[in-house]
Structure formats: structure tokens, C-alpha cells
Amino acid sequence: MQIVKSIAAMQRLAKKWRRAGTRIGFVPTMGYLHEGHLSLVKRARQAVGKNGKVVVSIYVNPTQFAPTEDLAKYPRDLKRDLKLLRELKVDVVFVPSDEEMYRRSKSARGDARSTNFSTYVVEEKLSRTMEGASRPTHFRGVTTVVAKLFNIVLPDVAIFGQKDFQQAAILQRMVTDLNFPIKIIVAPTIREKDGLAMSSRNQYLAGNLRRQATVLWCAIQIAQAAVKKSKRFPTAKLKSAIKKLIECEPDAKLDYVEFFEPETLLPVSTVKSGMHTALAVFFGKTRLIDNAKL
């Protein structure tokens, strides 16, 4: 397994592979890998075959964090991550620095913006609701860094997890609108035995917070059961029931719960089978998201 830190070196490798007709599968991550990430890596290998190349990036992207969010505290363990990826026979791990990705001077502080970087990719429809409403600058950072990574790694196929449903939809729209010659595969959410979706932020859940976090999956199951029981269910009534359920947990605070059309992400007033739900909840200072088809 090769570890690459520079953009130029990664592009040289990718161009060499493409000239040879070798397919490239790509999994972008922010590290602190768990079984959910590893399932994406395995899916990338399936997509390109034994003769293809699998590239995983590990980069905690500062432009998708607001100043009040957990950039400095975001969990990092590169040594452990590399061991896990080596076991899966990943071909290349791309580990750039902020200076490399954003031409940021070493003395610069804050959010990685500098006079040397001023171009961003912005999706203007799918990013308006849910995460986009709660974290207004988040998706601009995501689309920008993923577009950069696509231009660096030059993949044929890129794998994303369904846990970040809105993010995956936005990136699919970006690929279509900007004509990236890349196939996007969205792989299923991987859950713990108690239903909690795997996330690097789960490690923040100290003490009783870990048990309380299972209310996310309980809320989704309640929504699914309501839709199964009634072909059409009033959204306001279902939101009220879920809010009440979540607020029974002493340290849980609902950020949002939404019901929407999966293609447009537009909210609906009546919920029925085939629609989607997504929610974000604070457990103490830790904010977790989840979603599922109804």
C-alpha cells in the first residue's frame, strides 16, 4: 500500500493508471475509520475488480466546518486507519495537508481560507434544507473538496454512504451538472447491533449518552411503522410524535426532523410509502444524523 501526500504525485499515479486502462475506485473519508467506511472500501474493490486500483483519501476538510463546530476536536488516528486499509489491500491512501489542498501558508489560522484560495463549488437547490439549513456553509465545503479530490484522483467510480443521504444526493447532482465522468455508488448505512448508525462522532458519546443516542433509530422505526399502518400520514403529527420521543431523553435536543421526496429533497405535508425521513439530534454537545426510506 502506497501513502501519497502531494497532489502532483497522486495525479501522476492516476494518469498513469488511466493511460494503462486501469479502473480507479475512490472512497473519500475524514479518517477515524469504522466498519461503515470499510464497507465502502470493499464496495470500491467490487466495482473496479481485482485488476483495478482502490484509492482512499483521509482528510479532515476545514471548509465544511463552521467556526463553532468540532474541527479541532474531530477524532484522528492515522496509524490505526492505515493498518485497517492495509488489511483490505487498498492500493493508495491519499493524505494531503491543509497547505497542500488549499495553498494555505503554514502561519495561517482558522478556516483554511486565504488569499491563495478563492474558488468554491456551490449546489443551490438540494442544499437548502436539513443539513444545509442547519449548517449554511457546510455543503459548499463538501462539494468543493470532493470536486478537488475528483480532479486529483481521477476515479471512474466513487463510493459514498447512505448515512449522509443529502450529501450523496448533492454530490450526484454535482457530478451530473458539471459533467464529471464518474459513477457515484451510494452504499447502505452500516449500523451497530442496537441500530445506531456508525459514525466517527459516536466516540464522543460518553457515559449514558451512548444509550440515549439509540433514540435516533427508534424515531425512524416509529415513522416507518406509522407509514406502514396508514397509507398517508400527516407530517406535522408525525414530527410532533418524534419530537416528543426524542425529548424524553434527558440530554437529547432535536435539531430537525424532516420528511421529503428522495429525488428532490423537497419536504412533504403528507407522508407515504417510498418517501424518506432524516433527522439531526444533539446528545450533549455531540450532533448525530440519520435517515431512512419509509
Whether 37 is catalytic: yes
| Active-site annotation holder among 34, 37, 138, 276 | 37
Q: Residue 259: is its pLDDT beyond 80?
A: yes
Residue 148: inside a domain: yes
d(CA 150, CA 171): 11
Q: Percent of the chain at pLDDT above 90?
A: 92
Q: What is the 3-state secondary structure (H, E, C) of the chain?
A: CEEECCHHHHHHHHHHHHHCCCCEEEEEECCCCCHHHHHHHHHHHHHHCCCCEEEEEECCCHHHCCCCCCCCCCCCCHHHHHHHHHHCCCCEEECCCHHHHHCCCCCCCCCCCECCECCCCCCCCCCCCCHHHHCCCHHHHHHHHHHHHHHHHCCCEEEEEHHHHHHHHHHHHHHHHCCCCCEEEEECCCECCCCCECCHHHHHCCCCHHHHCCHHHHHHHHHHHHHHHCCEEEHHHHHHHHHHHHCCCCCEEEEEEEEECCCCCCECCEEECCCEEEEEEEECCEEEEEEEEC
Residue 260: inside a domain: yes
Q: Residue 115: is its pLDDT beyond 60?
A: no
Stated pTM of the model: 0.94
Q: What is the pLDDT of residues 127-183, one digit of tens each?
A: 999 999 999 999 999 999 999 999 999 999 999 999 999 999 999 999 999 999 999
Residue 142: inside a domain: yes
Residue 192: inside a domain: no
Domain CATH for 69: 3.40.50.620
Query: Do 80 and 46 touch, CB atoms closer than 8 A?
Result: no
- Do 124 and 214 fall within a single domain? no
- Do 70 and 154 fall within a single domain? yes
Host domain of residue 166: 2-187
Higher local confidence (pLDDT), 111 or 193 = 193
pLDDT, residue 231, reads 77
- Do 168 and 229 fall within a single domain? no
- Do 206 and 179 fall within a single domain? no
Domain count along the chain: 2
- Do 92 and 160 fall within a single domain? yes
